[in-house]
Structure 1
Amino acid sequence: MTVTPLFTNQDLDPDRLREAFGVFPSGVVAVAAEVDGVRTGLAASSFTSVSLDPPLVQFSVANSSKTWPVLRRASHLGLSVLADHHGGVCRQLAGPVERRFDDIDVTVSEHGSLFLDDGLARFDCTVYREVEAGDHTIVLLQLHAVEQASDVSLPLVFHRSAFAGVAATG
């Protein structure tokens, strides 16, 4: 039996990896809290559900993030699933820290979780565990409350290094 190599080019440079990873769309969430009286947040394009018992979700954050060390100090975090019209909000959450929540309608819970008022779903959570993984950290979050919007907006996804909506099929 002759075995033909499946991969002939083992070039795993970061640009090539980013391009290959980008063919799979991922959901986008805002991760936010009020920390020491300051609204703090970031956009994460690596969100996924993990477990129903206990209820867990996860996202990944770059180890170079200046925002995550502040956010992780919060007693609770708010996750807002972003809708297809949130592309600008997503870019704003990646911009200057002091302007990330300008002109964005938000609600802060009694625990300090911060939610976008028009998110598709909102999760109140706490850090369950962090796992170092190369140049990122995987953050597992335990859910304490959930609320789902009743509107029919579609989710925002990150695909091929750009934000996009998904097409509804019927």
Structure 2
Amino acid sequence: MIHETQLDIPRPAIDGAALRQVCGHFATGVTVITAGDDEGAAGTTVNSFTSVSLEPPLVLICLHENSRLLPVVQRSQGFTVNFLTHQQERLAWAFAGKQTARLDEVAHHRAPSGQPVLSGALAHLECRLAAEYDGGDHSILLGEVVGLGSSEEQEAPLIFFQGAMHGLAATGS
């Protein structure tokens, strides 16, 4: 069930650069989203990730409408969320921006779902594309988790805060 609220009030003009600057005050984890099929594979760095539901297991990511990854996800009907460690900052930057690295240039393997998983990731979630929604200049993708895994190493995660990547001290539970 989708509920959309349409407000009949004037929208204030919000500058995109100002919005980005303010949102930069919110620290996020860093992920590389990967997807692939027989026609090819791709990946991109994303910090717009959230867990949505445990039952059923659902997560959400957002991809720019011009992302090279978006048609691969749509074609393969799935994607992998790779959570990066503090030692993978170079990998995160390689998959960021318009000229991203090619997946065949980095160490990875295929999960049972057929989706690519980055080697050395802190953890990963293999997802089946459950729904896609319009989100302005982004597509909002809802994924049903069909597989998962995590490193046995107690690595610190990579986070993004105020336009820069940082390591976060591992807590070691």
TM-score by length of 1: 0.83
Structure 2 residue aligned with 1:113: 115
Rounded Cα–Cα distance in structure 2 between residues aligned with 1:54 and 1:110: 20
Rounded Cα–Cα distance in structure 2 between residues aligned with 1:66 and 1:101: 12
Q: 1:153 to 1:134 in 2, by over 3 A?
A: same
Task: State the superposition RMSD in angstroms.
Answer: 2.1
Rounded Cα–Cα distance in structure 1 between residues aligned with 2:74 and 2:34: 10
Structure 2 residue aligned with 1:14: 16
Q: 1:144 offset after TM fit, Å? A: 0.7
Identity %: 31
Structure 2: segments with no counterpart, 5+ residues: 1-11
Alignment of 1:8-157 (within 5 A): 12-94=14-96, 96=99, 99-101=101-103, 103-157=105-159
Q: 1:87 to 1:169 in 2, by over 3 A?
A: same
Rounded Cα–Cα distance in structure 2 between residues aligned with 1:102 and 1:69: 18
Rounded Cα–Cα distance in structure 1 between residues aligned with 2:45 and 2:71: 14
SS in 2 for 1:32: strand
Rounded Cα–Cα distance in structure 2 between residues aligned with 1:152 and 1:169: 8
Rounded Cα–Cα distance in structure 2 between residues aligned with 1:20 and 1:88: 25
Q: Deviations over 1:27-78 (max 9, x none)?
A: 1212112222523111111111110000011111112223211232114322
Structure 1: segments with no counterpart, 5+ residues: 1-9
Q: 1:37 to 1:62 in 2, by over 3 A?
A: closer
* Structure 1 runs, 4 residues or longer, greater than 4 Å off: none
Aligned residues: 160
Q: 1:108 offset after TM fit, Å? A: 0.9
Q: 1:96 offset after TM fit, Å? A: 3.5
Structure 2 residue aligned with 1:164: 166
Rounded Cα–Cα distance in structure 2 between residues aligned with 1:166 and 1:110: 30
The one-letter amino acid of 1:155's match is P
Rounded Cα–Cα distance in structure 2 between residues aligned with 1:75 and 1:133: 19
Rounded Cα–Cα distance in structure 1 between residues aligned with 2:122 and 2:32: 11
| Contact 2:132/2:139 (<8 A) preserved | yes
SS in 1 for 2:71: helix
Rounded Cα–Cα distance in structure 2 between residues aligned with 1:155 and 1:91: 15
